[in-house]
Amino acid sequence: MRIKVHCQNRVGILRDILNLLVDYGINVARGEVGGEQGNAIYLHCPNLINLQFQALRPKLEAIPGVFGVKRVGLMPSERRHLELNALLGALDFPVLSIDMVGSIVAANRAAAQLLGVRVDEVPGIPLARYVEDFDLPELVRANKSRINGLRVKVKGDSFLADIAPLQTEHDESDALAGAVLTLHRADRVGERIYNVRKHELRGFDSIFQSSKVMAAVVREARRMAPLDAPLLIEGETGTGKELLARACHLASPRGQAPFMALNCAGLPESMAETELFGYGPGAFEGARPEGKLGLLELTAGGTLFLDGVGEMSPRLQAKLLRFLQDGCFRRVGSDEEVYLDVRVICATQVDLSELCARGEFRQDLYHRLNVLSLHIPPLRECLDGLEPLAEHFIDQASRLIGCPLPKLSPQAMDKLRHYHWPGNVRQLENVLFQAVSLCEGGLVRPEHIRLPDYGAPQPLGDFSLDGSLEEILGRFEKAVLERLYAEHPSSRQLGRRLGVSHTTIANKLRQYGVGKDKS
């Protein structure tokens, strides 16, 4: 158990606290002083159980200078360690800490993968084993300042290295403790530059609004963005739900705080729960001894985006509902209540109200999430803005590929306009990227537009195609007459509707036995 003693900063107060613990036979494995003015003492007592704590608490609070005692989930150093691990783990490029002997002290997951070892096997490995002709300690002693973009070879691959010396407040070289080495693949620098440019347009400016329907959605979103309430975004796959969520976050008072995203679809329940809520120290076999912070805690003060919320398990739905109601939750394997201020934005491809009607989604959670709602229309309902959107993606693709800007032929545009777009805007972007890479002569032609026919609407639906052509046409003609006769219940009315004489219609009705009871 970990306890926090809020106390006066006086000489001997720690001795008085420890003497009382000794009297109770309580072992202290670790202690830390915290608080803004050193007015808190944190103690890790592995053999202290809850019953003992309840008996010991009033005696501790009776010590002169002790203001209060309570249980805590983490020691301050453990929390800093967790936060640092979470930050380093989120980086997709290798980061290593090297001492002045040239040995690796610590590394993030990306660095361990590069070296081909586990993270816990990294400490003590000589850097020279993996890096050719590179004496980092000597380089640090010679420069004593940050070095950026130094080309090095790691396991035969070229990297650009940024070196930041670890130095005390003194300037003598003896005070150097080592350096932090950050590696970037030389062959991906261009890709990184493109990604930076791609995200320069942020917020609502990054959403293309050539369609009147989409422009109306963005107007609604702009009004809802500053409101500090849950937001539910509905839309098919590929319509840009996360893009709209990010725009709402950036336009809100939380815009400078973190934005974290979790796709609930396809994640096992246990993994989704630990990713979202984290877990306490030693929560289960194989867990980190210090525990793990979840996305909720990493998002404190910001916005959490949950995609595919309709696929959440009932257990996760209950925990999310409690957080939305009370602003608190418990990590997996911990009984400590964690209170946070986080705005939740959810997205779904399915109709949550239908799931509620079938008992597959909690109605109380649905009403909590549906305080504000936005519906992003599919691309097939925004075809009035298709041409400028297509030209935008062609321009984007030509910049990325590094080729002259091609034009879109009228025939190719016509092909785009008559497609059903099951993958929506994301599919359009990918199709046009491929078309630009295939086209020659500066013109995108219909043959460059490669569109799969999956998900295409079937014009005949479930209509049977058994038998000869005459039999098929007869069944179809009878189905048409039966359908329209209900709306036009006489041969004259039906003849006018279909553009033929009433005699022809009367003969057809008699032939197929349609409307006999009304003749």
- Does 299 have pLDDT greater than 70? yes
Going from the C-alpha of 138 to that of each of 127, 151, 172, 296, the distances in angstroms are 13, 16, 14, 43
Cite the beta strand spans of 76-124 per DSSP E: 95-99, 104-107
- Does 11 have pLDDT greater than 70? yes
d(CA 126, CA 115): 11
Single out the residue of 63, 76, 79, 68 nearest to residue 34, CA to CA.
Answer: 76
Going from the C-alpha of 316 to that of each of 310, 326, 361, 517, the distances in angstroms are 11, 15, 11, 58
Mean predicted confidence (pLDDT) in 72-101? 82
Q: Maximum Cα–Cα distance for the chain, whole Å?
A: 112
- Does 147 have pLDDT greater than 60? yes
- Give percent of the chain with pLDDT exceeding 90: 38
Per-residue confidence at 119, pLDDT binned at 50, 70, 90?
A: confident
Tokens of 460: 């005949």
At residue 168, the pLDDT reads: 58
Query: Per-residue pLDDT tens for 170-206?
Result: 554 456 778 888 888 755 544 453 344 344 446 888 7
To the nearest 5 percent, what fractions of the chain are helix, strand and coil?
45, 20, 35
- Bigger pLDDT: 171 or 41? 41
Query: Per-residue pLDDT tens for 252-271?
Result: 999 888 888 899 887 788 88
At residue 251, the pLDDT reads: 93
Tokens of 148: 């950026």
Torsion sign, CA atoms 452, 455, 459, 465? positive
At residue 194, the pLDDT reads: 35
Which string of b and e fits 186-208 if b means at least 16 CB within 10 Å?
beeeeeeeeeeeeeeeebbebbb
Query: Per-residue pLDDT tens for 432-477?
Result: 999 999 888 889 999 999 988 755 554 444 566 778 888 888 888 8
Name residue, tokens 């309570």: 70
- For 17-26, the CB contacts below 8 A with 24+ separation are 17/41, 17/43, 17/60, 17/63, 17/66, 20/56, 20/59, 20/60, 20/63, 21/45, 21/56, 24/52, 24/56, 26/52, 26/56
Mean predicted confidence (pLDDT) in 386-396? 93
- Does 316 have pLDDT greater than 80? yes
Mean predicted confidence (pLDDT) in 504-510? 88
Mean pLDDT for the chain? Answer: 85
Burial class (CB in 10 A: 0-12, 13-18, 19+), 415: middle
> Mapping DSSP to helix (H, G, I), strand (E, B) and coil, where does residue 490 land?
coil
Tell me the pTM.
0.57
- Does 44 have pLDDT greater than 90? yes
- Does 160 have pLDDT greater than 90? no
- DSSP states along 394-432: HHHHHHHHT---PEEPHHHHHHHHT---TTHHHHHHHHH
Query: Per-residue pLDDT tens for 357-390?
Result: 989 999 999 999 999 999 999 999 999 999 999 9
| Amino acid identity for residue 485 in this structure | Y
At residue 403, the pLDDT reads: 86
d(CA 226, CA 439): 44
At residue 469, the pLDDT reads: 86
Tokens of 197: 């440019």
Mean predicted confidence (pLDDT) in 4-22? 90
Tokens of 417: 């306009």
The residue length of the chain stands at 519
Tokens of 305: 């985006």
Query: Per-residue pLDDT tens for 403-438?
Result: 899 999 999 999 999 899 999 999 999 999 999 998
Query: Per-residue pLDDT tens for 59-76?
Result: 999 999 999 999 988 888
Tokens of 101: 């002997």
**Secondary structure element (H or E) that encloses residue 444, with its range:** strand 443-444
